[in-house]
Structure 1
Amino acid sequence: MVDIYLKVENDPPVLALSIPLNDIQRLSLRPLKWLRYITFAVCGARGDLSTTPDSPAVDYDSVHHLDPVAEAYYYTPQETYRLIDHSGLNERITSSAQTTRRSRFREDIMGRDGSRCVFTREIPLLCDATHIIPSCKGDEYIQAVLQDRGALYDPAPDETSIDSIQNGIFVCKDVHTLFGIGSCAFLNTPNFALDTTDIAFTALDGPMSATRITLQHLIPHGGVRPILPFDACIAGTGNLPPPAILLDYMYGVAAYRRWGCGEHIKELMERRFTERYGTLPAPPVSGSASDDEDSGPSGDAHDSDSQPNRQRRGGARRHGSTMSAGMLQAMDDVLLLSMLTRGTTPESVSRERRRREEEEELRRQEASRSKVEAWKQASLE
């Protein structure tokens, strides 16, 4: 296990992350450079790692893929910390079909990224236009992120709404689900700490690009159909790609959910959240009960995260449910138990849904071919 401590002025170093060595080796060819990057993504400040609170910065290129590393590193910031919102994934979000603007979101993202998943090349029927910053956060929230961390990037977007094309990416439903719960994240390189060659390259379409967006499984992903850590292949116009500031921010959110450690860092994050984001107005929600669910091709599975205890900013519960968090959790537990009793799991249900969707797509294609053949035959007669 490798512990990362943040140096805080006038206070002892704060334990922020505790990361298994096998995760570090699995996700990077240059462990120290990757550790520097994820610390930056979480705390929002450029800085350096050292092996003791007062020692000089480490030589980042001295440690290769499987070389031993220290048990602890201390991060000295070069600027003020801009910590992530540790509950950045913990919001229940309405469908992208809720408004006219959101109904265009999928079309805009497909125009830029192409009509297949940028990572797996799945067909459009099995893909979603995914918000990078969850759509429930609203325009004010994403603007606060840009204003808070904009000085770290050149250039950084000036104006980006929650349904902007820059806040979206076209991915298959499985990747969408994993991203929505923080199991995977999208790594942008080169960045503050990493070069493109510091991350293993798994070819899907063509050679490695000079700039990369790599799918990384923070929680190891297996199963019958494992999703490999491919680079994004943008097959559309490529205009206005997801900016590094948003990808880094959500990488930090997912990294903290996976490896965050210690009560002190959580307290610092909660204080920072209250100061920076706590006073933002919650975005409007529709009164329709279906707005919290994926509404098909135009819906957003990330926007219908099934975790029950969802709080809106400022601590008030979102409308549409008067049940306590405990009651909602109990209902989820009962649902899961009933599925297991029937010999099913959420994963098997997802696979069966995918199989049926694929069969339906094949049936539609066959029907279209039959119509064309009938038309040709009629023309000959």
Structure 2
Amino acid sequence: METPPAAATPGVAAGHIRLILSHSTDVFYLEIPTPVIRSNSVRPIKYLRFLGWCIMGILGTVKSDREGLDVADNALLQDQAIYFYVYEALDEDAALKYAVDLAVIKTRSDVSASDSSVHARKEAFKESLVQRDATCIFTSKPAVVCQGTHIIPFSRGDEFNLLVQNRPANPDEDVSTLVEVDDGRNGMLLGADLHMIAELRNVVVLNTPNLVLDVNDVPPHPARTLGRDTEFPDMQRYSLQWLQGDSPQLLLYYPNNTDAAFRRHTHIPRPSPALLHYNYGAAAVKWWGQGQEHLGISNRPTMPRPSVPVPAATGPTRTKRTGNASIPRRGPGNVGGSGSGPQDSEVPLEEEVIDADDVVMFLWAQNPAALERRKLVAEEQKREREERARRMGQWRESVVDV
């Protein structure tokens, strides 16, 4: 028997629904225009489940109230309804013990304007994408008028490795070698104008099938003529979707649900589904998110801070900004072990701006798989310290004996 849709609620604007994301309170939610949901998926309830999974990093269900039955995937979406994304609650003690404190990471999330290597790196990045994509993957414009577009923004390169480590589990994708922001799996070749729209996250790319949506849950892609050297992937879709924007002209140039095409007969890995899901979630939080300030991301002074494994070559030079001044960071070593923080001058946490990327990374870092991975790393580091201490003790004893 199909579960009835959630009842209309006066607090939700007409033409919108509310998806509450926090498992314990109502403070963090999305206020989503219903036309966007319907244009991006033929099964709106499944689409809500996809959004919840992208943002929280945990598979869950959609309910009309937290204790009720699941809303069926084929149920109709009701205007002005409140829905709940419900998932298994995390152990709060474990979350506090192993969660990454993004207020620390945030201190190096700005690109230094003086980094002279940025232009050369972007050119090299584009060239690597030309080898795989040949043309703009959505419009077939020639590579000469295209730009290399990062899925995870280039400006957040120092956080890239951490984000990949804390991704929602997906057995179909091996990301063990995905360690650099300039990896081709973190990019797409797009025409210059589409590149600008994508960087603003007005449009995002939906990869199907994934753990929630199948290829048939996305509306059919518009007719499109491909060049002789490009083709659509078999049994997989990379669909361009609009989250924000109402320009008929832009929609004419870049129709919703247009599928990407890639160079024929190449074995170069395509864009990473995990990174596309992250970007989709961050874009949803950017445009529709409400209540991020209540998540406690920037004001958790007592949270233990495990070391953050960020390779020095992962991204551009970072600076720590306070007002109009930029204070150079000393590198990843500034993030210490449990109970330690940045070793240079502090910026009050309330001055840090927590954006959509921070929210999704923070939530991904607390999903059960991420907590378990960090727990195992912490245990291994403890064993290594104990082994070093044992060897040091043996050495001291041998010196005394001599």
TM-score relative to the length of structure 2: 0.61
State the distance in 1 between where 2:43 and 2:69 align.
Answer: 19
Q: Could you tell me how far apart the structure 1 residues matched to 2:81 and 2:204 are?
A: 25
Question: What's the CA shift string for 1:4-31, capped at 9, x where partnerless?
Answer: 11243xx433332111212211222111
Match of residue 147 from structure 2? 128
Determine the structure 2 residue equivalent to 1:233: 261
CA contact (8 A) 2:22 2:28 kept: no
Rounded to whole Å, the distance in 1 between the matches of 2:132 and 2:167 is 25
Is 1:181 matched up with 2:200? yes
> Contact 1:118–1:171 (CA<8 Å) still a contact in 2?
yes
- Distance in 1 between residues matched to 2:225 and 2:306, nearest whole Å: 41
Unaligned runs of 5+ in 2: 1-15, 227-231, 329-402
Cα RMSD for the two superposed structures = 3.8
Partners of 1:232 and 1:22 lie apart in 2 by 23
C-alpha contact 1:212 1:231 (8 A) present in aligned 2: yes
CA distance, structure 2, for counterparts of residue 279 and residue 208 of structure 1: 34
What is the letter of the counterpart of residue 202 of structure 1? P
Matching of residues 109-188 of structure 1 within 5 Å: 109-114=129-134, 116-138=135-157, 140-149=158-167, 151-160=169-178, 161-188=180-207
Name the structure 2 match of 1:211.
Answer: 236
TM-superposed deviation, 1:232: 0.4
Mapped to 2, the partners of 1:180 and 1:188 lie a distance apart of 18
Matched, 1:250 2:279: yes
3-state SS, counterpart of residue 36 of structure 1: helix
- Asked whether the 8 Å contact 2:50–2:212 carries over to 1, the reply is yes
SS of 1:254's equivalent in the other structure is: helix
> In 2, Cα distance between the equivalents of 1:233 and 1:2?
33
Residue type of the partner of 2:274? I
- Once residues 278 and 112 of structure 2 are traced to their aligned partners in structure 1, the CA distance between those partners, rounded to angstroms, is 19
Listed one character per residue, the Cα deviations across residues 154-181 of structure 1 (whole Å, up to 9, x for unaligned) are 3331122111111111011121111111
Match of 2:384 in 1: none
Query: Contact 2:58 / 2:168 at 8 angstroms: preserved in 1?
Result: no
TM-score, length of structure 1 as denominator length: 0.64
- Deviation track 1:70-94 (CA, whole Å, cap 9, x = no partner) reads 70111112475999x899xx85577
Contact between 2:206 and 2:239, CA under 8 Å: does it hold in 1? Answer: yes
1: CA distance, partners of 2:306 / 2:21? 20
**Equivalenced residues, count:** 286
Query: Unaligned regions of 5+ residues in structure 1, if any?
Result: 286-310, 322-381
Against the structure 1 CA distance between its residues 96 and 72, is the aligned structure 2 distance closer, same or farther, given a 3 Å change threshold? farther
Residue 5 of structure 1 is matched in structure 2 by 20
For 1:146 and 1:171, the matched residues in 2 are separated by 23
The residue correspondences of 1:213-362 to structure 2 (distance < 5 A) are 213-225=238-250, 226=252, 227-229=254-256, 230-236=258-264, 237-265=266-294, 267-270=295-298, 283-285=315-317, 319=326
Q: Once the two structures are aligned, what percentage of the paired residues are identical?
A: 25
Q: Which residue of 2 aligns with 1:28?
A: 41
2:216 is equivalent to residue 197 of structure 1? yes
Is the Cα contact below 8 Å between 1:109 and 1:170 reproduced in 2? Answer: yes
- 1:57-96 superposed matches below 5 A: 57-63=70-76, 68=78, 71-78=81-88, 80=90
